[in-house]
Amino acid sequence: MLPFPSILFLRLYSQLNSDCIINSTTCSIFLHPLNNYTVSIIIALEEMFLHETKCILKPPYGRRDTMQYSEVIKSALAYIEQNLKTDITAEELAQMAGYSTYHYYRLFSAVTGSSIAAHILKRRLDHALAEIAEGRKAIDVVLEYGFDTYSGFYKAFVKMYGCSPRKYLNLYHGHKPTKPEVVCMFTDNQLRRALENWGLDRSLPISDIYLANGAKVSGNVWQVGDEYILKTGRRDKLLKDLKISEALHAQGFDAPMPVPTKAGQKYLEGKDIFVLTRGVKGNPLPHADRFGEQRVKFAEQYGRAIARLHKALRAIQDDILPDEVNLYQNVLDWALPSVQRQNLQWNMGLTDSFFADYADTLGKLYGKLPKQLIHRDPNPSNILFCNGKVSGFIDFELSQINIRLWDICYCATGILSEGSQEAYGKWLEILGGILTGYDREEGLTKEEKHAVFYVICSIQMICIAYFESHDKYRELAKTNREMLQFIVENKKQIEAAV
């Protein structure tokens, strides 16, 4: 029997639109032609449905223990792509995969980050726009893709893309369908088979690791018992992470050290590479502390800890041979043009003078900003506290040679990204605390102090451009656009905080 929230979801879906038929026995949704109301319901209810499906998936009944969940969904995505102009039911997708419809709903949303109905709607919009861009008559295209009217297509498009189809095509000079992305997922049995190479107690629990705000890490990091962390991913990034951790440990930092396999290797290499490390003592600072009465004190601790980390990273950077990045050039060549288009697409209200001032001022300052090996991803979830003090940093996979101001500003924007009114109202004080802590420990140059606003804008433009280019991160793109608007509106206050 389905849990109450799922029954409620399906009944709402059924009652709100007669064109969407629910089979109460199989819980299948027949996606009939999309009228305006259907489209609005799909979009409005997706968030509620996805909230319910945030769960830890268990191995599906033994016979698929050796198959990654992602492979099951990849087959479904390919089928959907080939049949967008026909009726597609959740029930037939579940039957193709060999699951119950209800279990398949949860699996699909966990892997893709979207409900089945919302994914099909997105793909139809994407492909329909591409055919319109090629010169086909719009009404013919939208009817073929299951919309009752052009008005229904238009409203769904504006909801998802922020502007009319015509404006979008004018901004981006055409359109090609994007390829759906699938996060690789592993079953509990697969992870336990990998862990056999370390000889750990098989009864140790394996659990997903969640960020401080409750969002799940990308499916490649797990907590094993109370003491260990298991990781998989790109070989080059994992090995760089290991090398930096070992070097920092030699410098006296508390860093996640690898646990040797039974064969004495630092990592397990096969079809997938796995690394097992001992967890660093501590946890991310709770939200209540980051924004509580002691927020400035904790912010200064963030700043001081990043400064101490930078000292240690400078001492080892010649041994790491990391990539070197020109932040300013990357923004000018890629991120800034994308944000300029999105500014028009989503009516963000950024002026031409903002973009001109950014390019001119940071261009003059950039060559004078100190550069070194940095963490690159010091968001609050990667900075651990124990007994009220910073105990260590984790996840050095993205480390690179870049301006050191990046880490300071990225930590601050990571706190702002929590997105609540509380975050926006207290963030300027927190930013000031982080900068003060770093300055007292390491000393900021006058050029760095002048550049803080522009580096924060650089971070935001990169995040906006990246997230908007990936369908599954569109909501994050929206959050970061709102952050950039807030930052630009508060330029004077940010400069005063410095």
* pLDDT (0 to 100) of residue 34: 58
Task: Give the rounded percent of residues in the chain with a pLDDT score beyond 70.
Answer: 84
CA 400 vs. chain centroid, Å, equals 20
Do 480 and 467 meet the contact criterion of CB atoms below 8 Å apart? Answer: yes
Check pLDDT > 70 for residue 52: no
Beta strands in 180-284 (DSSP E): 206-208, 221-224, 228-232, 268-269, 273-278, 283-284
What's the mean pLDDT when you consider all of the chain? 85
Average pLDDT over residues 436-455: 98
The residue type at 163: C
SS3 state of residue 93: helix
What's the confidence (pLDDT) of residue 8? 42
Residue 449's alpha-carbon distances to 335, 373, 454, in angstroms, are 23, 20, 10
Binned at pLDDT 50, 70 and 90, residue 345 comes out as very high
Residues of the chain with pLDDT > 90, as a percent, come to: 64
Q: How far apart are CA 410 and CA 405, in angstroms?
A: 8
The pLDDT tens digits of the residues spanning 172-226 come to 999 998 888 766 678 788 899 999 999 998 889 998 776 544 445 567 889 999 9
Confidence of residue 7 (pLDDT cuts 50, 70, 90): very low
Q: What is the mean pLDDT of residues 303-312?
A: 96
Residues in the chain: 498
Residue type, 136: R
Q: How far apart are CA 485 and CA 28, in angstroms?
A: 42
Judged against a pLDDT cut of 60, whether residue 30 lies above it is answered with: no
Dihedral sign (CA 365, 370, 371, 374): negative
Lowest mean pLDDT among 239-248, 397-406, 435-444, 461-470: 239-248
- Measure the CA–CA gap between 51 and 105, rounded to whole angstroms: 12
Confidence class for position 42, pLDDT limits 50, 70, 90: low
Supply the pLDDT for residue 23: 39
Chain segment 109-141, per-residue pLDDT in tens? 877 878 899 999 999 999 999 999 999 999 999
Q: CB of 207 within 8 A of CB of 56?
A: yes
Cα gap 476→418, rounded to integer Å: 11
pLDDT confidence tier of residue 41, bands split at 50, 70 and 90: low
Of residues 242, 240, 215, 247, the one with CA closest to residue 229: 242
What 3-state DSSP class applies to 98?
coil
- β-strand partners of 21: 30
Residue with tokens 């492979």: 71
Supply the pLDDT for residue 383: 95
**Domains of the chain: residue spans and CATH:** 1-183 (1.10.10.60), 188-279 (3.30.200.20), 284-497 (3.90.1200.10)
302: confidence class by pLDDT, cuts 50, 70, 90: very high
pLDDT 10s digits, 455-492: 999 999 999 999 998 887 888 999 999 999 999 999 99
Predicted local distance difference test score (pLDDT) of residue 179: 80
Token code pair at residue 242: 């290991």
- pLDDT greater than 80 at residue 288: yes
Q: What is the pLDDT of residue 276?
A: 97
Residues 6+ apart with CB under 8 A from 399: 240, 241, 244, 313, 320, 322, 373, 374, 375, 376
Residue 393 predicted with pLDDT over 60: yes
